[in-house]
Amino acid sequence: MPDSPALPARVVGAAPDIAASAPATVLAELSKPGKPISRALVGVFFEDISYSADGGLYAELIQNRSFEYSSADHLGWHAFTSWELVKRGGGRGAVAIDRALPLHPNNPHYAVVRAEEPGEGVGLLNTGWDGIPVRAGEIYDVSFFARQCFMGEMWGPDSDPAGRPMPVITRLEGPDGRLLGEARFEIAGADWHRIEGEIVAVATEEAARFVLLLGKQGGLALDEISLFPRKTFRGRKNGLRADLAQTIADLKPGFVRFPGGCVAHGNGLGNLYRWQDTVGPVEQRKGQPNLWGYHQSVGLGYFEYFQFCEDIGALPLPVVAAGVCCQNSAHTPGRCQHGIPLAEMPAYVQEVLDLIEWANGPADSRWGAVRAAAGHPEPFGLKYLGVGNEDKITPGFKERFRMIFEALREKHPEIVVIGTSGPFAHGEDYDLGWAYATELGVPMIDEHYYVPPQWFWDNLGRYDAYDRAKAKVYLGEYAAHEPDRRNTLRSALAEAACLTSLERNGDAVAFASYAPLLARRSHTRWAPDLVYFDNTRVYPTLNYEVQRLFGQNRGDLFLETGVSGLGDAGEKLAASTVHDLASGDAVLKIVNGGASSRPLRIRLAGLPASSRSAALVVFAGADPDACNQDGQAPAVRPETSTVPISEDFDFLLPANSLVIFRLPLPR
């Protein structure tokens, strides 16, 4: 056998914590035919939880821009929440919320501002979500809808409104009132019309505020008051926050599931997420309460989700309700699932079919025309559709799911329908969900589980025995939960071990996505999450690093990989190898969940003579409790290098580690 190459001192060398004197062996069969697996195996699941959309990924900086907040969103909220009436320099005036002449029936409320004495300006102030972040030199697009309110008691009954345009100033200000930039407009006419301009910030401020001031005596009705950074992700109008979107893009996700989660089937039938209410002009979309305790403007709607998927090269995987609401609705956990009345189900089924037409239909079809009007005449190429989310498998659910599934199978056999098996890895709904999917011939089923880190190690063989003749698996929501729900290195490595088992079983498991994806700091409703953020910073967790490393080192074929010579049955060691046909590389991943470093003998059977070096990534830390959930810099960072390899060599696997060898194979 060739001599073992010398590797970097940080990887090899004497170590007092070696768990066993005899090395374990990791064998990767590089020359044998690989088993086809899904290249899109590792993806992301986006749910609007913990302000992930409004106040998060959606780049809008004005909170409650259309005056549609209510106590149904959050106790104590109302249509004027997040706004203040401001009166500058002796100005006198008032504000009211009206709905007599709305901009659109889906957007019924608007504000009416009356300047009785303008002084230095009477108007509105908004501080966004915990302040509005602005950066010196950058451009911010401001827009709003307005119409003049003509008040005879001010101007007299014979006054000519056309001759009295209303001057308006929009400003960005610091918390102390200092001017950061402004734009000026003149509003004329009694009909709603859109006003737009730009503000260039002259200074950086993390907690700015937006002010709109009337400059003359008179009144304006105002709605859909909006402020966007010009620098959205890919420069998209009505776009996404650039740093958050890039953080997701860096995962190289194979797919994006949206919009939920529990958001999809909602709190009661009136709160089902209806995709058609989220497309078209934003001022015509129909917002609604978010069951996580705030409001969904749906400015980030189906068009933006699909566009984002296209921008980052990910498959879109929308999820629609299965004709029932969440069984945990109405503060009655487990017992409040209600179904759309059967007489109304044909119309709901048509909604689902319309979604396919909207996504894939020609630009001159009814719904394809809506997509084309938004700027995307070409079809999006939808292939997968989830129906249901963690639903209780009741007779009512079954009846409605069957109606949707059979219509899709008849009208769109090209669409892969994904069913549901409840929220747990076992139990009644899991068993009933799988049995019903098998009865109907559903091609894929969604499994969910949030479990302790040790569970993943104990269940690395979970999918080995799955019947390949039955539905494929989409592991739609999973995460390792510590008792205190922190994002630890231990939990991240447990998830890495799980991912090696999913690669090994990539013929049975098509997709997998950690959940939840995003959470706004100080507004978090669920922990742990993959990425935390505030107004100006993004805090990827250690769990994120594992997902990123697997997403950036994916493959098309699983190459047979085995581990032997373990010291005891409880030793935490897992490995997998995939062949990336695009690059020609083989990628070997090894996870050590133990507190001690571990000597390995790595055998690369069939390694070509030309391959004598590999790119190496080491993600390791001494403390399995290491955590950066609270906004610190990552406690552990991947380190990269190039190392010599051979068909048979020794390697000291660090404690608490994921290591990745990337080595070229002949094309």
From the number of C-beta atoms within 10 Å of its C-beta (0-12, 13-18, 19+), residue 358 rates as: buried
Q: How far is the C-alpha of 80 from the C-alpha of 68, rounded, in Å? A: 8
DSSP-derived secondary structure letter, 488: B
Q: Which two tokens stand for residue 255?
A: 């797919």
Q: How far is the C-alpha of 623 from the C-alpha of 124, rounded, in Å? A: 51
Q: How far is the C-alpha of 119 from the C-alpha of 491, rounded, in Å? A: 60
Q: Identify the sign of the CA torsion 255, 260, 265, 271.
A: negative
Q: Which of 390, 503, 545, 571 is catalytic?
A: 390
Measured CA to CA in angstroms, residue 601 lies from 24, 174, 234, 250 at distances of 6, 61, 46, 32
The yes-or-no answer on residue 639 being catalytic is no
Q: How many CB atoms within 10 Å of residue 161?
A: 16
Measured CA to CA in angstroms, residue 403 lies from 327, 347, 396 at distances of 20, 11, 11
The answer to whether the CB of 150 falls within 8 A of the CB of 220 is no
Whose CA is closest to 386, among 282, 273, 253, 283? Answer: 273
Per-position DSSP letters for 161-228, written without gaps between them = GGG-PEEEEEEEE-TT--EEEEEEEEE--SS-EEEEEEEE-SS-EEEEEEEEEE-SSEEEEEEEEEEE
Q: Which two tokens stand for residue 579?
A: 């062949």
Q: Which residues of 425-459 are buried (b: 16+ CB within 10 A; e: fewer)?
A: beeebbebbbebbeebebbbbbbbbbbebebbbee
Q: How far is the C-alpha of 156 from the C-alpha of 164, rounded, in Å? A: 13
Q: Which two tokens stand for residue 108?
A: 């019924």
Q: How far is the C-alpha of 431 from the C-alpha of 320, rounded, in Å? A: 22
Single-letter amino acid code for the residue at 162: A
SS3 of residue 39 by DSSP? coil
The answer to whether the CB of 496 falls within 8 A of the CB of 576 is no
SS3 of residue 400 by DSSP? helix
The answer to whether the CB of 11 falls within 8 A of the CB of 4 is no
∠287-380-263 over CA atoms, to 5°? 30
> Which residues participate in catalysis according to the annotation?
390
